[in-house]
Structure 1
Amino acid sequence: MLKSPVFEISVTGDYHSLILSQKIVEPFIKKKFKRVRAVAKFEGRELTFHAAIQKIHGQYCMMFGKRYQKELGIFPNDIFKLQFFEDTSKYGVEVPEEFEAVMLSDYDAYQIFESLTDGRKRGLIYTITRYKNSQTKIDKTLLLCENLKRGIRDPKELFKS
Structure 2
Amino acid sequence: MKKMTLKAPILKFESDLWSYYVAIPKKVGNQFIEGEDRRVICKINNGTPIHSALMPKGEVYSIYVKKEFMRKNGLEEGDEVDIQLKKDKSEYGMPVPESFQVLLDQDTEGSMYFHELTKGKQRTLIHIVGKVKNVDSQLAKGLAIMHHLKEAKGELDFKRLNVLIKEYNNRK
Question: Same fold, TM exceeding 0.5?
Answer: yes
Q: Identify the range of structure 1 (17-26 vs 101-110) with the bigger mean alpha-carbon deviation.
A: 17-26
Q: In structure 1, the residue corresponding to 2:78 is in which secondary structure? A: coil
| Paired position in structure 2 for 1:158 | 161
Detail structure 1 runs of 4+ shifted over 3 Å in the superposition.
Answer: none
| Paired position in structure 1 for 2:2 | 2
1:36 aligns with 2:40: yes
RMSD of Structure 2 on Structure 1 (CA): 1.6
1:89 aligns with 2:90: yes
| Paired position in structure 1 for 2:11 | 12
% identical aligned pairs: 25
Q: How many angstroms does 1:26 deviate by?
A: 2.5
**Over residues 104-127 of structure 1, what are the superposed CA-to-partner deviations in whole Å (9 max), with x where a residue is unaligned?**
111100000000000000011011
- Kept in 2, the 8 Å contact 1:140–1:159? The answer is no
Whole-Å Cα distance in 2 between the matches of residues 149 and 7 of structure 1?
A: 45
| Paired position in structure 2 for 1:75 | 76
- Kept in 2, the 8 Å contact 1:143–1:160? The answer is no
Given residue 133 of structure 2, which amino acid in structure 1 is its aligned partner?
A: K
| TM-score, structure 1 normalization | 0.89
Whole-Å Cα distance in 2 between the matches of residues 61 and 70 of structure 1?
A: 19
Q: Structure 2: which 5+ residue stretches go unaligned?
A: 14-18, 165-172
Q: Structure 1: which 5+ residue stretches go unaligned?
A: none
| Paired position in structure 2 for 1:60 | 61
Structure showing greater relative contact order (alpha-carbon pairs closer than 8 Å, 6 or more residues apart)? 1
Whole-Å Cα distance in 1 between the matches of residues 151 and 49 of structure 2?
A: 35
Q: Identify the range of structure 1 (104-113 vs 52-61) with the bigger mean alpha-carbon deviation.
A: 52-61
| TM-score, structure 2 normalization | 0.83
- Kept in 2, the 8 Å contact 1:37–1:48? The answer is yes
